[in-house]
Chains A and B, each alone.
Chain A
């Protein structure tokens, strides 16, 4: 056998790496200009619509700030990947990090790592066990409560409800469930017929709802999904079964498709989570921290229920 031409392979890889710098969408590794503030931002998952909206808001808002350079990376819902992205930021000695953590528990080590490196850290939209220097987000407990209250009002406090959970153990899932539970406690007439996770995924929520229609047909009058993706899945399943008119469906996040569905009178309501507000808040907080100025520990952007009546103010 010939010896492996390591040199050839090595130079090929090097050439590829250099070439990749010129691809669209690939940012060159941060070249620091004098006095420029460099912010690293790790997004949880750009393929989830709400996160994509939040990330876009962060990137766009940072562009409006002179002397600020923001580098965004996508963790694709992978805790390990996010951790290494954060390590890279620390190695680059960025001035501040905005982290949109993947998970409540599993992302905590990444947060501790940044704090140990003494780099200012802003958490956005998801808390972890350890706190960052500032948290910008919305109280998911509120979102769950608002959505469930809307269902209770619509059903006059009487009826069966199905709940579709997000990925079990994420802070959004835990909080949104807790908020909804509070409403169940308030209205003894509301019954939780069944609950199951669909992992924030539309196709899974659709299959789940189809199965529920078989198991519990006629026994439920409302579906509460922990996000709009899953609410859309439930909606499609109900429409295909021809029983949407008997069932109220409400989700959370107010993604574009959900708003359109509300407009068309298909989806009953969604809860608006202010992606732009959260995005701006987190960039502002990161800049304050980078300049060593005082910054509030927490900045909660309020949720709002979106129905056909107030829809116009949310559609751009």
Chain B
């Protein structure tokens, strides 16, 4: 069988292309820098990718339905600010600021979902509007100033639990649940069906509206979580935090093989994409590459990774 070999190789590359890129990059960095492969640096990388990781998982849900969410960064800022406002020492128990942040994110996401489904407006436009609105609300709620004076109980959430940083734990739990959900739950399957062929999914009895509302809602909720984690990490609710975070998150998801037109993608791929971007950032800093070159290199790697991926899946 002559035909079998190349197709086997292609499948192999398809499945593991990004993983190979990731391992190669890690190997190169281990050799060229002293510190990359150390346990403390790897923890460090994990901690730094956790926020982008949570956001990438969040936006995977929306991208799978064939939509997009441009409001991630702004909603991160808004939920961070709301969380910080309820987190002054001695005011409320810890659960209040956390749930306020989560609820804020979920509400923003649900509003996106409602406008996309019942409003019939394109996701690009809806979430572009939300991006501006959420940023504005963050500035209003914070009077334009960083909300400081947060209770240590909350800022400790950015610390460690044993050897593992808590943000990394959050990311891991979120990723695990999302993976289970997409692979094992009925609604997860419906998500793929709606993204793959919305009309056919409807004809097969799938409630497209419910599925999309859910996707945007979950995306918002997880974005709220990222906002809380970020606020804990930088010990303030910054109304101007999270600028362009959505682009890093979407880039990670797309690098991980999720199609921007929906229906194709996986949490596993998203995690690999997040790690790739995180290791690039960390590696460039370790190498002492100047900021100007960092920007160029990052852009090239993102476009290159996706180009390779698409070229393989097309052939």
Contacts and interface: CB of A to CB of B under 8 A. Distances in A.
Most chain A beta-carbon contacts within 10 A, residue among B38, B145, B148, B290 = B145
B40 A194 contact: no
Interface extent on B, as a size class? 35 or more
Contacts of A222: none
B225 to A, nearest CB: 16
Contacts of B146: 47, 49, 257
B172 to A, nearest CB: 19
B258 interface: no
A203 B144 contact: no
Given A196-B291, A215-B288, A202 B236 contact: yes
Interface string B12-49: 00000000000000000000011110101100100110
Given A46-B139, A197-B291, A257 B285 contact: no
Nearest to A205: B234
Interface of B: 33-36, 38, 40-41, 44, 47-48, 139-140, 142, 144-146, 148, 158-159, 230, 233-236, 238-241, 281-282, 285-286, 288, 290-292
B134 to A, nearest CB: 14
Contacts of A25: 140
Interface string A192-216: 0010110001110011101111110
Contacts of B286: 211, 214-215
Contact of A203 (B35, B233, B239, B288): B233
A233 interface: yes
A18 B168 CA distance: 48
20 contacts: A45-B240, A47-B139, A47-B146, A52-B144, A196-B291, A202-B238, A202-B241, A210-B44, A210-B48, A211-B41, A211-B48, A211-B281, A212-B285, A213-B44, A214-B40, A214-B41, A214-B282, A215-B288, A240-B159, A256-B148
Given A202-B236, A211-B44, 14 more contacts: A46-B145, A47-B145, A49-B145, A52-B145, A77-B240, A194-B288, A202-B241, A203-B230, A203-B234, A206-B234, A213-B44, A214-B282, A215-B33, A215-B288
Interface of A: 25, 45-49, 52, 74, 76-77, 165, 168, 194, 196-197, 201-203, 206-208, 210-215, 217, 232-233, 236, 240, 256-257
A197 B295 CA distance: 11
Most chain B beta-carbon contacts within 10 A, residue among A77, A210, A232 = A210
B240 A214 contact: no
A24 to B, nearest CB: 9
Contact of B144 (A47, A201, A232, A257): A47
